[in-house]
Amino acid sequence: MEEVKKQSRFTRLKYNEAKMGAYYTDPQHCRYISRFLQFPEEDEVCCLEPSIGDGKAILTATGKIGENGKNLKIYGVELNDDTYQAVKDTEGIDQCLKADFLNDTIISHNAFSFIFMNPPYGTSEEKTRYEVDFLKKVIPYATKEAVMVFVLPQYVGMEEELLDQWCSHFETRFVYRFQDSEYEKYKQIVLIGQRKSSNERDKDEEQRLQSVISRNREMPVIPEDYDGERLEVPKSSEKGIEEFMTRIFHADEAAETLKRSPLQRILMDAICVPPYLIDNLARPPIMPSEGQMYLLAVSGAGQGLVGNEENGDLHLQRGVSRIAKRSEYVQDDSGNMKEVEITFPQISYNLIESSGVIRTLQ
């Protein structure tokens, strides 16, 4: 077993370098996988791929290509910036985050009824397998009876911790290895399962599945023309996805998303100060006196452009009223001097002239 593991890592590294870090699921095998799945024709289904790459794997497996599968809503996470920039605008991908799925995402639980996962292969700095970490992380996001497609190396599929997590949460419906030419690259197998209603460890199922996977090249090979019973993917709604975001706020990404959003005008009205309109004040219920009208004007009610461009005296006027204090000494009836504090409204104008000069008048 250790020899196979080392050999697989070496082969994995070689192909990884050749593909500049990208090792996507073979499209042909994604088509084979799609034959085992039955998606609703009209009901909405929310799909998640936590390491989406170029997006072709999940698009092929779900059949969401062109006009097909408009009811399928695909969400993805991609760490590589170049790949993210390409995939976020790919037709059929509804939302994509540029983030480290394991550490930098906030996603609603029990929201996705279909998950396609081919995570990075390798060992983290904490000496844990990425495949196991991704599985632990993604399980809470799956709805009741959600369908999971999990592509991983054969030697990792035999590890106790992975089998514990998989068999505790999913009922294995299909397990195959990839066909010979593709299997030689990464020793990939695929587990297709359905979320259990209760999360209990099943040692017997773990041993059975380990026995199947340990057969290595003698494992059943995924068929090209499967036409048996398909696994039905349950419906799920985007209304259940209240959170799908990164822990770090990216202002540029938020601005770009806002530009593309049909809600842009509503959002802009909510977050932006509206432009001044000279008639933006409603009619008062009682006509103010001359003094009150002056106070209203300089307190802001009369703000706006004053003068005109032809006369060269066009400027912006804004009035402010503040409570000011001053003290003075007065003589009382007994002839004694005492200090008296007087409060009064101080009215000021801030004038911005057409030349750019700012004047304050009080």
* Residue pLDDT, tens place only, 54-110: 999 999 999 997 677 899 999 999 999 999 999 998 999 999 999 999 999 999 999
pLDDT confidence bin for 5, thresholds 50/70/90: very low
State the number of CA atoms in the 13 A half-sphere of 317 facing the CB: 21
Q: What is the mean pLDDT of residues 99-125?
A: 95
312 is a domain residue = yes
- The span from the first CA to the last CA of the chain, in angstroms, equals 88
Q: To 5 degrees, how large is the angle CA 326–CA 329–CA 330?
A: 120
Kindly report which listed range (74-78, 301-305, 354-358) carries the lowest average pLDDT score: 301-305
As a whole number of angstroms, the distance between CA 14 and CA 11 comes to: 5
Residues 251 and 128 in one domain: yes
226 is a domain residue = yes
120 is a domain residue = yes
275 is a domain residue = no
Q: What is the mean pLDDT of residues 118-147?
A: 95
Q: What is the mean pLDDT of residues 189-201?
A: 93
As a whole number of angstroms, the distance between CA 329 and CA 341 comes to: 9
pTM over 0.75: no
On the question of pLDDT at 179 being above 70, the answer is yes
pLDDT confidence bin for 340, thresholds 50/70/90: confident
Residues 222 and 298 in one domain: no
Predicted pLDDT at 19 = 41
Residues 248 and 299 in one domain: no
Residues 239 and 326 in one domain: no
Predicted pLDDT at 309 = 74
As a whole number of angstroms, the distance between CA 146 and CA 134 comes to: 16
Residues 131 and 200 in one domain: yes
State which residues form the domain around 181: 2-267
Bridge partners (DSSP) of residue 46 are 73
pLDDT confidence bin for 212, thresholds 50/70/90: very high
Residues 28 and 99 in one domain: yes
Share of the chain above pLDDT 70, in %: 76
Residues 9 and 123 in one domain: yes
As a whole number of angstroms, the distance between CA 101 and CA 79 comes to: 8
Across the chain, what does the average pLDDT equal? 83
Residues 255 and 211 in one domain: yes
85 is a domain residue = yes
Kindly report which listed range (7-16, 180-189, 268-277, 278-287) carries the lowest average pLDDT score: 7-16
Kindly report which listed range (2-11, 133-142, 213-222) carries the lowest average pLDDT score: 2-11
Predicted pLDDT at 305 = 65
- Output the furthest CA–CA distance in the chain (Å, rounded): 116
Domain count, the chain: 2
Torsion over CA of 329, 335, 336 and 341, rounded to 10 degrees?
Answer: -30
Q: When comparing pLDDT for 251 and 182, which is higher? A: 182
Q: What is the DSSP letter of 63?
A: T
CB-count burial class (<10 Å; 0-12, 13-18, 19+) for 57 = buried
342 is a domain residue = yes
Of the spans 20-34, 223-237, 325-339, which averages the highest pLDDT? Answer: 223-237
Residues 190 and 314 in one domain: no
On the question of pLDDT at 265 being above 70, the answer is yes
Residues 60 and 165 in one domain: yes
